[in-house]
Structure formats: C-alpha cells, structure tokens
Structure 1
Amino acid sequence: MVLMNATVILAEHAHARAGDKGNILSIAVFPLDAAHYEWLRRELTAERVAEHFASRRPARVRRHEIDSLKALNFVLEDALEGGVNRSPGLDRHGKSLSYLLLSMRLPAPG
C-alpha cells in the first residue's frame, strides 16, 4: 500500500541518458516499467526539473515528450557554466548530471 504523501526517488523507477553540446544539457528519462510513463508525464514537469537544477541556473528548461519511446527529454539551456571547454568546474559534462536528475523525489506512482 502506498501512502498519499509518499515520495520516491526517481532512480527507483527510471533511468536516464544525458549529453551536452556547448552550454546546453540534454537529459532523456525512460521509465523502468512502461506502465509508469503516464506517471512520469504527470509528475516530472519542466518546472520541477528547473527547480531541481536551480543551483546550475538554467536560463530555460524545455520538456519534449517522445511517446513512441516512452521517454521525456529535458533541454536545459545555459546549465553547464559556459560549456565543457569554458567551465572552470571539474567534470561539468552533461553525462554526469543525469544522476542529479535521478536523485529527484517525486510523488509515488499510484
């Protein structure tokens, strides 16, 4: 039984692939169980992703639904401190940031 206020960590129900191009981060999220795609569509919003990545100060977060793959793709503009070649930060490749997204807490699927 799942309580109404229960939350889960996204990584318990999804996996992600990420990439970067310049200062743009792209993260695709796939449910581990296709039955959870509608839950992801409802709960994993661009607004929630923007809030979760607030410390990276993205200028804009867009969500693209890819129904044929049961995936959501998030594009975060200006989220990589100028890009891999310009950033003074260590390991700012977009690939490592998919784990940040997967650490997000969401209401449990129901």
Structure 2
Amino acid sequence: MKLKEIAHARTGDKGEISNISVIPYDENNYEMLKEKVTETRVAEYFREICHGKVTRYELDGIHALNFVLDKTLGGGVTRSLALDKHGKTLGMALLEMEV
C-alpha cells in the first residue's frame, strides 16, 4: 500500500533544508511506520534531489516521524531556478512511497 493510505504529512522548508513530518491516521500504525519509513528508505526515495543527509526524529509522544533532508532544495526557494522548489511538495511526494 502507499504511505498516503495510512498517514498524512506536514512539511516545511528553510534554505536548502526540507522538513517532512509523517503522522499516521491511526496511532496503532505508528510502530509499523517506524519500521518501514526509515532514513535509508527516505534518502533512497529522494536520491535524485537530496544531496545531503537525511535525519529521522521519532516523536513517540505524538506518534509522528520527522525527517530533515539537507541539501535538497537547490539552494533554497529564492535561489533556485526550478518553478516549484518548495519543501511542501515533498511531503505529498513521500506519501506516494510504498510501505
């Protein structure tokens, strides 16, 4: 199944860093998300655009995962020539990942 079937995402960006939070609709799916949505898988998923480190933070108290993707936005929104280089689009892209 796709990640979007069991979770939603919140995203942000600052400079070249994108921040993606993955939150399950049902907190009972949190442990499975921790197992399936790893730093390695997210780095591989975004390998064409993420040229830095992917760090995962586990927010057990609110049943959420937060990923910080360094060197991902081509210098940042105001420096990139790409039409839509906002980190907000990456959350929707991540939700298409198979889990």
Q: TM-score, normalised by structure 1?
A: 0.88
* TM superposition shift of 1:91: 1.0
* Over 2 Å off, 4+ runs: none
Task: Structure 2: give runs of 5+ residues left out of the alignment.
Answer: none
Task: Structure 1: give runs of 5+ residues left out of the alignment.
Answer: 1-7
Q: Which of the two has higher C-alpha Rg?
A: 1
Aligned residue number for residue 96 of structure 1: 89
User: Number of paired residues?
Assistant: 99
Deviations 1:12-50 (A, max 9, x none): 010000000010000000001110000001110000000
Q: Which amino acid aligns with 1:70?
A: H
Q: TM-score, normalised by structure 2?
A: 0.97
SS in 1 for 2:48: helix
Equivalences for 1:1-110 in 2 at 5 Å? 8-106=1-99
* TM superposition shift of 1:57: 3.0
Between the aligned residues of both structures, percent identity stands at 49
Q: Which has the higher strand share?
A: 1
How far apart are the structure 2 equivalents of 1:70 and 1:50? 21
Asked whether the 8 Å contact 2:11–2:87 carries over to 1, the reply is: yes
